[in-house]
Chains A and B, each alone.
Chain A
Amino acid sequence: MSGAPAYSEDKGGSAGPGEPEYGHDPASGGIFSSDYKRHDDLKEMLDTNKDSLKLEAMKRIVAMIARGKNASDLFPAVVKNVACKNIEVKKLVYVYLVRYAEEQQDLALLSISTFQRGLKDPNQLIRASALRVLSSIRVPIIVPIMMLAIKEAASDMSPYVRKTAAHAIPKLYSLDSDQKDQLIEVIEKLLADKTTLVAGSVVMAFEEVCPERIDLIHKNYRKLCNLLIDVEEWGQVVIISMLTRYARTQFLSPTQNESLLEENPEKAFYGSEEDEAKGPGSEEAAAAALPARKPYVMDPDHRLLLRNTKPLLQSRSAAVVMAVAQLYFHLAPKAEVGVIAKALVRLLRSHSEVQYVVLQNVATMSIKRRGMFEPYLKSFYIRSTDPTQIKILKLEVLTNLANETNIPTVLREFQTYIRSMDKDFVAATIQAIGRCATNIGRVRDTCLNGLVQLLSNRDELVVAESVVVIKKLLQMQPAQHGEIIKHLAKLTDNIQVPMARASILWLIGEYCEHVPKIAPDVLRKMAKSFTAEEDIVKLQVINLAAKLYLTNSKQTKLLTQYVLSLAKYDQNYDIRDRARFTRQLIVPSEQGGALSRHAKKLFLAPKPAPVLESSFKDRDHFQLGSLSHLLNAKATGYQELPDWPEEAPDPSVRNVEVPEWTKCSNREKRKEKEKPFYSDSEGESGPTESADSEPESESESDSKSSSESGSGESSSESDNEDQDEDEEKGGSESEQSEEEGKKKTKKRKKVPEGHREGSSSDEGSDSSSSSSESEMTSESEEEQVEGASWRKKTTQTSSHNLEQIMDFPTSLHVQPVSPPMIMSTSLAADLEGLTLTDSSLVPSLLSPVSSIGRQELLHRVAGEGLAVDYVFSRQPFSGDPHMVSVHIYFSNNSETPIKGLHVGTPKLPAGISIQEFPEIESLAPGESTTAVMGINFCDSTQAANFQLCTQTRQFYVSIQPPVGELMAPVFMSENEFKKEQGKLTGMNEITEKLTLPDTCRNDHVVVQKVTTTANLGRVPCGTSDEYRFAGRTLTSGSLVLLTLDARPAGAAQLTVNSEKMVIGTMLVKDVIQALTQ
């Protein structure tokens, strides 16, 4: 090591502080002699009167120090220049002094008087720098002088000097901890300082000297919160982490009411939001379980802290962002923690070291609060250029974020990772797939299949890792996987990695009943190669032998005995031990061993499946962002994050008398000075007494003003709209007659009616009609397209006309996505009012055509008279092709009109978005109306939760789509179909056998059932007993290909090919259910 010689040289110097230079180790002869000479001329240079020579000498000395060379022997010569007039020489002398004073204490004392003089200088900067050097000289004798100097500086006029005093406190403390009490007094005084310059430094001193004296913070809490934004970045970090601890001791947990939900983090996360809106009473069960706790009200001071730190998430400093993030994670109510995700994700663009730290923290957070990072899933995708350690952390986060919805995307991403050149990373990916498979039962088979395919990989490490993971997965459901175990058994010939061999042997032994023929043969092979195996493999061979002996002693008795005798003479005593032990257990000896009767129980007891867990689980008991958290071990000086108190300590301790503030002249000065720059933040750092009332009053006034303005606007708008509506009706009537003229058949007639309640372009209803009338499937395709196009045309013209007639309010044009939708829906709603006198006609029209019919969204009892139903109309949603359009039927069963019906702020799972329907101004008693909204389910069957708001109430509702509604039909030829199918094999293919009931054996029924279950288009097909259907998922546009191969006597095979494995699996399930019912 290159450090070693330098180190010893260093030591030589420090060992003899007073020694002349020839005290050096003679071994370093050459260097020593030249050093000796050079030092001599340096001394001469320092002794001259010429500043330039002195400077030259000092520069060389500093360069020596920088390189780690010992220059302590020059101390006497250097220290003489401490009073030098030349400012640079002086600075360099200071540098030297601070470095060597500790070693040459007596000589260092010579310089003290110079600094003491400096402390009295009229210039604040000289005072500060004198104090800085004085306190940096680590000489115990001057402790009293330092103490005095610090005390004096703490009440200096200049904030800069006071800052320096704050810096000096920990220096003195580390020199002499007996001074603690006096230093705490100084800290207390400086904590009361109102300048941003001092705040950071004094909190730093507080943290180093007396972090346990929380009581010192009380009076300054509000001030610190308010000053925070103006403190320099480094101070912000220290203050924020101190305040986190403070808040944990002083406030009640904002999540106490949800603590019962903790087990299911996801649910708790979403639940908490509703909780807050409804008030704590809603979680009745939880509330009842808790011993009569008061409803939680956040302390205004707690709120103040959260509010004042939030802007700092925008800081350019990663350290500040992280500090705020951990504060929110530890202190904020669950609903508010989400804000930090975006900022943390931003940090991932930074240097790789920053990424490393941030990812570690994100990994911990993502276990507890998965929902928070789900929208940013793609930001954690791995690039081939990332360093391995970053890749592995990102993988960890991706695995934590994987859930039922996004697992297909995650797995697809993992598939590309497996082909990476970085083999460590590939191994980690396989582990990750294993964890996904254990966590998400639905994809277990898919994962397992994928892993089995990896077994034929050429890289042995990959194979070995896969075997280990497969072993763990198989343990969870061994019965169905005889095939895989057989496959693994074959691999024993090739795989050399001991861990993998051992895993295979264990598996065969454990499930030898599933592979009764193969197991003995494997044992035979292993017995042959026993002596050449690694120890862990040998142990497993013995294990396998024992298990086989117990289950199939006829075939394996001899083999077992052979293995056991080989093991008996093994070099490793563990193996010898194991062999002896096993022999006694399984081979009944003449003593009639009591244990051997239980051997079967001992060896073949059912074993619980291993739990694959994140290594980041439970790391959050360390304060996030801390060194201890990163290392997952307590670092020296780590301050434990206290638990929330049961009862809130008295909040009045933080009250500060008002006069004290206004009296302070210092503050006034600062105000004046800062006004031009910080006028905006001044309001915040103003008198603290306002902090008490501020949050409430502010929010109150906010809500008031918003509601006022809101209602005002809406009323005026509705006035306008009333007029518009009239005109609109006029326009639409003519429009309707036009449409009417184009209708051909009676059945066809109904469709446009359906369309009228629906949205603009609606081939969806067509296609659903086609599914109800399965006779006309293939020929109706053309018609459908045709029909759709003319319908599109008409709606376009209609909306165009309307635009001219109605003079739309400009606000509508601003919305870029939805204008056609808005117009047509309002048009549709009005048309309905005109033409359909009986609103109950509506469902009868649509229910047979749509696969699921009308479903209830809100029961009229729960909705206080408002009943809401919905139906998946299967029409493409005009605003956004990725959205599923949902028709919603409102009817008012109450006595009073329901006003201002709209969708309230939806709280949606990741990726899901909603295109709201335009607000329904009023719904008279007994009336019904419809609206169309679009939901982008993001190719998942997660429910979209949102609120239906009326002017007075809000109802929580959710729409969960059956998987078949997440796609739209695609038309393709048989050849195209086959080509695409060829591309989607392997993990993407799901095949299931079924028996068709008698009722379900003719073409029409089958086609109808399939198309009702899933929104797929039929693909023309040559053979009579094969049915093919194709579609694309709405969001990602991935193909979904369905093949039903019906054989005589009802046997059939259903195959779904889709990149979206989850959708495929679920579709298979749904279709089979529909067909076999």
Chain B
Amino acid sequence: MIHSLFLINSSGDIFLEKHWKSVVSRSVCDYFFEAQERATEAENVPPVIPTPHHYLLSVYRHKIFFVAVIQTEVPPLFVIEFLHRVVDTFQDYFGVCSEPVIKDNVVVVYEVLEEMLDNGFPLATESNILKELIKPPTILRTVVNTITGSTNVGDQLPTGQLSVVPWRRTGVKYTNNEAYFDVVEEIDAIIDKSGSTVTAEIQGVIDACVKLTGMPDLTLSFMNPRLLDDVSFHPCVRFKRWESERILSFIPPDGNFRLLSYHVSAQNLVAIPVYVKHSINFRDSSSLGRFEITVGPKQTMGKTIEGVIVTSQMPKGVLNMSLTPSQGTHTFDPVTKMLSWDVGKINPQKLPSLKGTTSLQAGASKPDENPTINLQFKIQQLAISGLKVNRLDMYGEKYKPFKGIKYMTKAGKFQVRT
């Protein structure tokens, strides 16, 4: 299936290559560079590029292109999904996935890649098992290794691969048994010029951090499971149980994992927690245009809105903007024409606003497009859909775990058209 993998940085250097079958010369990447040139922007490089003898499938993450070379028909999503899994694994191993980190840990990276695919077919992709096979580097271990000469490779054999719960390693032991669940909801919305909602959806995930001894069997139930319109599960969740009782029953992987992602049905009206008032006028280059944005809370269920960041891509003709924010800081990059305003918290008594003027390049005519405003924000301790976890029970082990649940609402792709 997957023949080879090339890692290419943004300046076009191939800094890592791995072959699972016969070696494919790296000159095959020339086709990729060609496509990259044509696309002008990194995100516009087509994910699938046919070449005379191979097909190049790539993903772009953390400013690195992961280019897989394949030779025969294979579902493209299979490869793309795998590449993303590779990136996730790197992130899990090293904390960040960037070119210097990969270069520093090239041996571990190589060993991990070797385990992930056998002859191009995925072998061990669960990070729990991989970590058993190849220990992730930590500062302590690096020190110990250099002194004692011991290695990163696990000395005991990976039994998890053989178990019936392939996502959980065996023999887990903790002194503090804890299970934390974060319910994070993101609002995707498009708000039109007049402030009415064109489309709004809530996408949520439940991320878990489970550190429990032995083989615990957990059940998690919701107060209002009907809210969840469309769900996708970590493979550990028993589907039948969900179908019949709307209860999540699972043996958790060890450590961090995403238990569930869900979508709240569009029929339920989505509460939009913020509003943006804007008046953006451009004038011909002779005079200054007016620019004003005010952000305010709308339906916040009494919670404060934090971490508000407003960004907007200005039209190419904009030369400069002189703005004064009532709070927070703002920047305008005259090269990329990106305006960004870090608002921080919204105080409902004193609404943050950004006012000022815009000047166009000399001779440029008034742009006919209006910029869209992208919004980021966070609301702690609130799941905007109203989803509530009812209880978490543990079976199969005797001790009493510490349990915690946190809610948060964030802006997903939140866009205001002007």
A-to-B contact residues, CB < 8 Å? 1-4, 6-7, 10-11, 14, 51-52, 55, 59, 62-63, 65-68, 86-88, 91-92, 95, 99, 102, 123-126, 132, 135-136, 138, 158-160, 164, 167-168, 170-171, 174, 197, 201, 204, 229, 232-234, 237, 241, 311, 314-319, 321-323, 342-343, 345-346, 349, 351-354, 356-358, 378-379, 381, 383-385, 387-389, 413, 416, 419-421, 457-459, 625-628, 630-631, 633, 635-639, 673-674, 676-678, 680-681
Contact = CB atoms under 8 A, between A and B. Distances in A.
A457 B368 contact: yes
A383 B123 contact: no
A260 B19 CA distance: 51
A158 B14 contact: no
Interface stretch (B102-110, B294-302, B349-357): B102-110
A626 B75 contact: yes
A91 B372 CA distance: 53
Contact of B48 (A68, A201, A631, A637): A631
Interface string B226-258: 000111111100111101000000010000001
Contact of B107 (A68, A92, A421, A631): A92
Contacts of B12: 2
A359 to B, nearest CB: 11
A12 to B, nearest CB: 12
Contact of B122 (A234, A342, A343, A351): A234
A99 B75 contact: no
Contact of B44 (A389, A627, A680): A389
Contact of B230 (A343, A358, A378, A420): A343
Contacts of B401: none
Contact of A378 (B50, B118, B199, B263): B199
Contacts of A323: 75
Q: Chain A at the B interface: mostly helix, strand, loop or mixed?
A: helix
B67 to A, nearest CB: 11
Interface of B: 1, 12-19, 21-23, 25-27, 29-30, 33, 41, 43-44, 46-48, 50, 55, 58-61, 70-78, 80-84, 106-107, 109-111, 114, 118-119, 121-123, 125, 149, 151-153, 155, 157-158, 161-162, 164-166, 188, 190, 192, 198-199, 201, 203, 217, 229-235, 238-241, 243, 251, 258, 261, 263, 266, 313, 315-316, 365, 368-372, 374, 396, 413, 415, 417
Contacts of A342: 229-230
B13 A99 contact: no
B47 A356 contact: yes
Among B25, B29, B81, B152, max chain A CB count under 10 A is at B81
A638 B73 contact: yes
B241 A167 contact: no
12 contacts: A4-B27, A6-B14, A10-B23, A11-B25, A88-B153, A167-B119, A314-B232, A314-B239, A319-B81, A323-B75, A383-B413, A674-B164
A66 B17 contact: yes
A387 B41 CA distance: 9
A58 to B, nearest CB: 8
Nearest to A382: B190
Given A346-B232, A385-B374, A680-B241, A102 B22 contact: yes
B47 A319 contact: no
Contacts of A167: 118-119, 121, 123
Contact of B152 (A63, A88, A168): A88
B81 A680 contact: no
A311 B372 CA distance: 39
Given A234-B122, A316-B258, A88 B151 contact: yes
Nearest to B58: A353
B235 A316 contact: yes
Given A381-B198, A637-B73, A678-B164, A237 B78 contact: yes
A625 B14 CA distance: 29
B25 A7 contact: yes
Closest 8 CB pairs of A and B: A637-B72, A88-B151, A378-B199, A52-B149, A680-B240, A353-B47, A88-B153, A387-B43
A66 B47 contact: no
Q: Chain B at the A interface: mostly helix, strand, loop or mixed?
A: mixed
Given A385-B415, A673-B164, A379 B73 contact: no
B316 A677 contact: no
B217 to A, nearest CB: 8
Contacts of B16: 66-67
Given A68-B14, A88-B152, A318-B80, A95 B110 contact: yes
A91 B112 CA distance: 11
Contacts of B55: 627, 631, 635
Contacts of B234: 316
A52 B316 CA distance: 59
Among B83, B121, B233, B241, max chain A CB count under 10 A is at B121
B14 A356 contact: no
A346 B198 CA distance: 19
A66 B239 contact: no
Among A311, A351, A625, max chain B CB count under 10 A is at A351
A55 B76 contact: no
Nearest to B314: A421
A986 B19 CA distance: 61
Contacts of A229: 239
Contact of B76 (A174, A357, A674): A357
B353 to A, nearest CB: 23
Given A92-B107, A349-B203, A383-B190, 10 more contacts: A66-B109, A160-B161, A315-B232, A322-B75, A353-B59, A354-B84, A383-B372, A384-B372, A387-B44, A421-B371
A881 B222 CA distance: 31
B30 A1 contact: yes
B110 A625 contact: no
A1006 B55 CA distance: 69
A1 B37 CA distance: 12
A824 B55 CA distance: 66
Contacts of B266: 378
A890 to B, nearest CB: 29
A639 B22 contact: no
A385 B43 CA distance: 11
Nearest to A136: B119
B162 A160 contact: yes
A979 to B, nearest CB: 14
Nearest to A128: B161
Contacts of A680: 238, 240-241
A681 B240 contact: yes
A381 B71 contact: no
A395 B403 CA distance: 46
A389 B40 CA distance: 12
A167 B198 CA distance: 50
B119 A170 contact: yes
B48 A316 contact: no
Nearest to A123: B157
A66 B18 contact: yes
A95 B114 contact: yes
Contacts of A6: 14, 26
A416 B73 contact: no
A66 B106 contact: yes
A88 B107 CA distance: 11
Contacts of B190: 381, 383
A420 B369 CA distance: 6
B119 A95 contact: no
A635 B73 contact: yes
A113 B209 CA distance: 46
A625 B75 contact: yes
A542 B44 CA distance: 41
Nearest to A240: B75
Contact of B26 (A10, A51, A676): A10
Contacts of A352: 43, 47, 60
Contact of A132 (B78, B118, B230, B315): B118
A638 B151 CA distance: 44
Contacts of B229: 342
B212 to A, nearest CB: 16
Contacts of B239: 229, 311, 314, 681
